[in-house]
Structure 1
Amino acid sequence: MGYAPNDRIELLEKETEIKNKSLIIAEWFGTIYLIYTVTLLLVLPAAVIVDIKLRPEYDGDDLYEVIEGSEGSSTKKTDD
């Protein structure tokens, strides 16, 4: 015994609906992944550039000066 023609059509329609829903989920996943990736690619470099520009430029260590002594060179803190 088989399915009646109407029952078979209903089963095929339900199967098609399930496939369509899985495609919709896959499309949403792809869209969210793309938005997340593009956001990271734009925001992270911008944050690094801002971080680099906010740091003061390093001119060397002005707090210490090199003193030549008999036992070799050493450092001495300056009183600036």
Structure 2
Amino acid sequence: MIKARVTVTLKNGVLDPQGKAIEGALGTLGFSGVGAVRQGKVFDIELESADRAKAEAELKSMCEKLLANTVIENYSVTLI
């Protein structure tokens, strides 16, 4: 069994209204010095594969087809 973590974030230059809302809320709660907040998504996935290269290729395919909107989002795959 292979475990992986997929992290999806907005590309630089893409507006992030949720990040801005979080940034404002942190300031309201008294957390000073917060520069910029960008929000993203994390997926923890378990695959029943023993082949790490095949698993990584499948995970990248999952990202390209479903988990990330590659027009506006970047993704990274980490096998853990």
Name the TM-score, length of structure 1 as normaliser: 0.22
Name the TM-score, length of structure 2 as normaliser: 0.22
Greater fraction of residues in strand: 2
Higher RCO, 1 vs 2 (CA within 8 Å, ≥6 residues apart): 2
Greater fraction of residues in helix: 1
